[in-house]
Structure 1
Amino acid sequence: MTIKSLGNPYDGDVDLRHGLACNCSDCADDAGHRMKAVSARDQRTRMSTDDMLDRAVESAIVRSMFGHNELSRRSFAKMLGGTTLAAALASVLPIDKVKAAILDEIGTPEKTDLSVGFVPITCATPIIMAEPLGFYQRYGLNVEVVKTAGWAVARDKSLNGEYDASHMLTPMPLAITLGAGSTATPFLMPAVENINGQAIVLHNDHRDKHEDVSTWRGLTFGVPFEYSMHNFLLRYYVAEAGLDPDRDIQIRVVPPPEMVANLRAGNIDGFLSPDPFNQRAVWEEIGFIHILTKDIWEGHPCCAFACSQAFAETYPNTYGNLLKAIIDATQYASDSANRSEIAEAIAPTNYLNQPVPVIEQVLTGRFADGLGNVRDEPNRIDFDPFPWHSMGVWILTQMKRWGYIEGDIDYAAVAEQVYLAADCGKVMADLGLEVPAETYKSHVIMGKTFDPAEPEAYVESFAIRRT
């Protein structure tokens, strides 16, 4: 595994946001400068664990002093020179003591070289941006984030150990643990990545169906995976309009990067998909945004950080530091002031491979909807790591409702086994974030309140269901 984003933080010629493997246009144009920033020793040999931890913490300290603003850091470094900058900072800040304190606090990871899978969507923002913006480095980890074509691949590579951890859809760790769609394997979900952030898009040919969902009978829709909030929210939405999602419409699994192409080709009439593909359909003038999923369920979970129970138990320090890096990145992404910087960091080909304006429209919430409107929806997507047990219970009720799981199920026990609210809460507290006092709460979906204390009655309350 190559060392990612471990360039010299005192060198103004290197952009620390992108790893040496990045082939975006900016990095390709600046390839000579980026290679110069890697020491001869680093080019000849792999860094030792101690070297990597030392460089990672030093880089995090320097970058934090410039507010993670790469332009400011690089300009200042070029003006003073790297040696002078290092000496100047050392004269006012006891960097060696700070490094020692940080490393003592996080504990030495048992395993530092990690592969973490991601599907190229904006829901994965914290997992992706933690590489170019240095959050993994901060906690002594050399993480390679690996672009993955779809969720079945992410699941299978996580199960076979090719990935140490992965970006997953929030229903996936529940399904894997229960053996729904795969061999039953205990999986853990200690952090949610994003809330909201999805939409239903229709092809422009169906503008006449925008106002009346009951006219969707016979249409074909794409969702990214069976065990996804997209599938369960689409099913919920059309069922509330009186349509049976298994009989009155067709639902097909389409990997997110293929959604727009399938819409253009007429293979599907619409989709409930993660961004940036909703906005990309508008950008390419193929489709329009019918509804944001936040208007179905405000604050619904979508994607998450997950790993096997075996990984967490075998490498407890590594697991803890990885979780802390991702939650730290999540809270950084939750600040709207950082969204433009993040859009630039995750746009390159090795990450989302999307135009920066498309990603900015998603992250900032100011966007064209394809119907002639420019909308301001600051909560179009947000980032909140807390894995509410009640959210897990709701997902399990929908898996039961539509026949993905059968028989008796202890909803709360499964949710609490998989959604590690305690682990997340501890890290949030360490980072100075507000931690919810409870792990269960009621949720409102399309005007109806879900009580997590009565899951079976909730399932039976729906006229349209498989059970």
Structure 2
Amino acid sequence: MTTRHHITAGFLPLLDSALLVVAREKGFAEAQSVELTLVRERSWATIRDRLAVSHFDVAHILAPMPIACNLGLSAPAPKMVVPMALGLGGNAVTVSAALWDAMAKCGATDDLDARASGAALRRVIDRRNEETLRFGVVHPYSAHNYELRYWLAASGIDPDREIEIVVLPPPDMGDALAAGLIDGYCAGEPWNTFGVLKRSAHLATVKAAIWKSSPEKVLGVNARWSEGHPEALHALLRALYSASLWCAEPQNHGELANLLAGPSYVARPAELLLPALRGVLPIGAGQTRVVTDFFVPNAKAATFPWKSHALWFYTQMVRWHQVEHTAEHQNIAGGTYRPDIYRNAMRSLGVALPSASAKVEGALRTETPVGSSGALTLGPDGFFDGSLFDPDDITTYIAAQLGQ
């Protein structure tokens, strides 16, 4: 008799909850004998708290948050593992119409180029005699916060002195922008599209331009549950991988948008979800731009939990003075992402897997076939300013970012 696995997962109403939603609604979880219960929450803090007290076994969660929990930076802090990413990309930097107008007069272009928009924002700040610009992010331990800060700093803007960064729930970003409470924000979809179509905002740049092929949300797993239920976790990972293949097919995007639009999930009109799924983004003033790698659910090893991703997030925690750099902290951060669990779960599916567990971020300038257990193409990856992150030389990287 086949063992049935009962798993409860928390999620936020965002496009990148798609793999969990599809695993449940399209039968991929059932095919792996998983009875998957999905529970929608409003804030990342609640997701973290309910993982800590075992209300959830797993969750759709910010990619850096499990690392912060394991480092003791976020309380209550469940010990967590990340055995899978839930896709690459998916967020953007959105600004008010007034700020975009000022940036456009200072050289910003409508091609979402991170370098041009960052340089323009630098000029805007130089010319302003008003109060400090305020940007929203969804959590201090989020890819949004670190990538926004990276973009600002690489554009010559000090995000601690020249910009005010505040924390808001994703669904509140567009309304806060329209009310003049913030001047811009970095958030996941559909909240950038919502800002553009419903709140007269403008896209300044996208995650896929700031750090190509980078993770946004991951599957966060209560470590105690993981240790006690390895077969259930493996079954869930296989279901989510099958869901990622389904999500990646263009012919499924209309159905996927309708699924996510349902009242139990994102609960927003499908037309706000389709642009990101199709990679044809409204950017403001009635214009659209094609960004084919805006959200990648399966290609380029999109679900593989790279240790180099975890370690880059760790370097940003150090850079922005959230944690001290020590060998122990580095080991905890790198050990949070678990490609070994992913590999064990995928073995029976015959999935093409990376042969390494970490890579130099920024080394692949084009799509590149790589050595693996099967046919696999990675890249392009890396940062808009052309820098490299070598996970084997973290101390040097941190020192360079701190200007030491």
Question: TM-score if structure 1 supplies the norm length?
Answer: 0.73
Match of 2:115 in 1: none
Match of 1:235 in 2: 149
- The aligned amino acid for 1:192 is A
- The aligned amino acid for 1:213 is L
Give the distance between the partners of 1:144 and 1:428, measured in 2 at CA.
22
Structure 1 segment 183-262 matched on structure 2, within 5 A: 183-207=76-100, 208-210=102-104, 211=108, 212-215=120-123, 217=125, 218-262=132-176
Match of 2:230 in 1: 316
Give the distance between the partners of 1:127 and 1:232, measured in 2 at CA.
25
Match of 1:462 in 2: 401
- Given that 2:178 and 2:199 are in contact with CA atoms closer than 8 Å, whether structure 1 keeps it comes out as no
**1:209, distance to aligned residue in structure 2 (A):** 1.7
- The aligned amino acid for 2:345 is V
Match of 2:22 in 1: 129
Q: What is the aligned counterpart of 1:180 among 73, 76, 90?
A: 73
Match of 2:320 in 1: 402
Deviations 1:285-329 (A, max 9, x none): 420111011011110111011111100122222222222222221
Does structure 1 residue 302 correspond to structure 2 residue 205? Answer: no
Match of 1:266 in 2: 180
- The aligned amino acid for 2:85 is V
- The aligned amino acid for 2:401 is F
- The aligned amino acid for 1:349 is P
Q: Secondary structure at 1:368's aligned position in 2? A: strand
- Given that 2:304 and 2:342 are in contact with CA atoms closer than 8 Å, whether structure 1 keeps it comes out as yes
- The aligned amino acid for 2:93 is I
Match of 1:427 in 2: 345
**1:187, distance to aligned residue in structure 2 (A):** 0.6
**1:385, distance to aligned residue in structure 2 (A):** 0.7
Give the distance between the partners of 1:442 and 1:229, measured in 2 at CA.
18
- Given that 2:305 and 2:339 are in contact with CA atoms closer than 8 Å, whether structure 1 keeps it comes out as yes
Structure 1 segment 28-67 matched on structure 2, within 5 A: none
Deviations 1:3-54 (A, max 9, x none): xxxxxxxxxxxxxxxxxxxxxxxxxxxxxxxxxxxxxxxxxxxxxxxxxxxx
- Given that 1:221 and 1:250 are in contact with CA atoms closer than 8 Å, whether structure 2 keeps it comes out as yes
Match of 1:159 in 2: 52
Match of 1:330 in 2: 244
Give the distance between the partners of 1:139 and 1:178, measured in 2 at CA.
33
Gaps of 5+ in 1: 1-99
Does structure 1 residue 445 correspond to structure 2 residue 363? Answer: no
- Given that 2:95 and 2:204 are in contact with CA atoms closer than 8 Å, whether structure 1 keeps it comes out as yes
User: Residue 230 and residue 216 in structure 1: after superposition, are their counterparts in 2 closer, same or farther (change >3 A)?
Assistant: farther
Does structure 1 residue 343 correspond to structure 2 residue 257? Answer: yes
**1:411, distance to aligned residue in structure 2 (A):** 6.1
Deviations 1:245-304 (A, max 9, x none): 111101111111111111111111110110110011111142011101101111011101
**1:354, distance to aligned residue in structure 2 (A):** 1.3
Q: Secondary structure at 2:308's aligned position in 1? A: helix
Q: What is the aligned counterpart of 1:150 among 26, 29, 43?
A: 43
Match of 1:37 in 2: none
Give the distance between the partners of 1:382 and 1:170, measured in 2 at CA.
15
- The aligned amino acid for 1:312 is S
Give the distance between the partners of 1:173 and 1:327, measured in 2 at CA.
21
With 421-430 and 436-445 compared, the bigger mean Cα shift is at 421-430
Give the distance between the partners of 2:124 and 2:310, measured in 1 at CA.
29
Bigger radius of gyration among the two = 1
Q: Secondary structure at 1:448's aligned position in 2? A: coil
- The aligned amino acid for 1:448 is S
Q: RMSD in angstroms over aligned alpha carbons?
A: 1.8
- The aligned amino acid for 2:31 is R
- The aligned amino acid for 1:203 is S
- Given that 2:49 and 2:77 are in contact with CA atoms closer than 8 Å, whether structure 1 keeps it comes out as no
**1:410, distance to aligned residue in structure 2 (A):** 4.2
- Given that 1:339 and 1:363 are in contact with CA atoms closer than 8 Å, whether structure 2 keeps it comes out as yes
Match of 1:76 in 2: none
Does structure 1 residue 414 correspond to structure 2 residue 353? Answer: no
User: Residue 389 and residue 407 in structure 1: after superposition, are their counterparts in 2 closer, same or farther (change >3 A)?
Assistant: closer
Match of 2:270 in 1: 356
Does structure 1 residue 386 correspond to structure 2 residue 294? Answer: no
User: Residue 180 and residue 409 in structure 1: after superposition, are their counterparts in 2 closer, same or farther (change >3 A)?
Assistant: farther
Give the distance between the partners of 1:263 and 1:129, measured in 2 at CA.
31
Gaps of 5+ in 2: 109-119, 126-131, 362-381
**1:425, distance to aligned residue in structure 2 (A):** 2.1
With 407-416 and 442-451 compared, the bigger mean Cα shift is at 407-416
Question: TM-score if structure 2 supplies the norm length?
Answer: 0.85
What is the aligned-residue identity percentage?
A: 28
- Given that 1:203 and 1:263 are in contact with CA atoms closer than 8 Å, whether structure 2 keeps it comes out as yes
**1:169, distance to aligned residue in structure 2 (A):** 0.8
Give the distance between the partners of 1:387 and 1:366, measured in 2 at CA.
27
Match of 2:206 in 1: 292
Give the distance between the partners of 1:344 and 1:324, measured in 2 at CA.
24
- Given that 2:308 and 2:334 are in contact with CA atoms closer than 8 Å, whether structure 1 keeps it comes out as no
**1:402, distance to aligned residue in structure 2 (A):** 0.5
User: Residue 413 and residue 335 in structure 1: after superposition, are their counterparts in 2 closer, same or farther (change >3 A)?
Assistant: farther
Deviations 1:142-197 (A, max 9, x none): 22211110101100111011112111111011111111122454210000002111
Q: Secondary structure at 1:434's aligned position in 2? A: coil
Match of 1:436 in 2: 354
User: Residue 215 and residue 349 in structure 1: after superposition, are their counterparts in 2 closer, same or farther (change >3 A)?
Assistant: farther
Give the distance between the partners of 1:329 and 1:229, measured in 2 at CA.
23
- The aligned amino acid for 1:403 is H
**Structure with more relative contact order (C-alpha pairs < 8 Å, separation 6 or more):** 2
- Given that 2:71 and 2:329 are in contact with CA atoms closer than 8 Å, whether structure 1 keeps it comes out as no
Give the distance between the partners of 2:25 and 2:225, measured in 1 at CA.
24
Q: Secondary structure at 1:369's aligned position in 2? A: strand
Deviations 1:336-364 (A, max 9, x none): 33222211111111101111111111101
